[in-house]
Amino acid sequence: MTSIYEFKAKSLDNQEIDFNDYRGDVLLIVNTASHCGFTSQYAGLEELQKKFEGKGLKVLGFPCNQFGAQEPGDASTIANFCQKNYGVSFQMFDKVDVNGADAHPIYKFLTHSAPGLLGSEGIKWNFTKFLVNKKGEVVKRYAPTVTPDSLVSDIEKMMVD
């Protein structure tokens, strides 16, 4: 696979979403969890979505339960939590694995395209973020500790490219 546009994934409401529909958009893809020390980043991710809505940014959340079992709920529970607590309007996908043999193909692509510290492809924790340019190329990976508001400059650069 050479671009993000070659993938599909199921949304929380079980609809198959073709990533080709995001062609020409800047994407911020994040593995999320509802019971994590970084869960409050949902608010910052929603702020980014609102700030750049209509300007070509799409925030995409992928719930994951691989780190400390911090996303134990089913799709309905996750959707309700995100909406009730953070007003999440950005696209949320069905819960996935991001590491290992059962990792979703999108995450295999992301981690291979933008390895982490010391070249490691594995994701270390929830709220690891990947920035994808308008051509579908992964341009940067951010650690969970990197807050959404600190990504504004990088996102703005991708908007004009």
Q: What is the pLDDT of residues 61-81, one digit of tens each?
A: 999 999 999 998 888 999 889
Residues contacting residue 55 through CB under 8 Å, at least 6 positions apart: 159
d(CA 134, CA 111): 18
* pLDDT of the residue at 121: 81
Strands 16-18 and 26-32: unpaired
* pLDDT of the residue at 32: 96
Q: Do residues 34 and 70 lie in contact, with contact meaning Cβ atoms separated by under 8 Å?
A: yes
Q: Where do the domains of the chain lie, and which CATH numbers do they carry? A: 4-160 (3.40.30.10)
d(CA 96, CA 47): 24
34-63 confidence digits (pLDDT tens): 999 889 999 999 999 999 988 999 999 999
Q: Which two tokens stand for residue 158?
A: 């991708």
Banded model confidence at residue 117, pLDDT cuts 50, 70, 90: confident
- pLDDT(1) > 80: no
Banded model confidence at residue 161, pLDDT cuts 50, 70, 90: low
Query: What mean pLDDT is reported for the chain?
Result: 92
* pLDDT of the residue at 154: 96
Which of 26-30, 119-123, 156-160 is most confident? 26-30
Known catalytic residues are 36
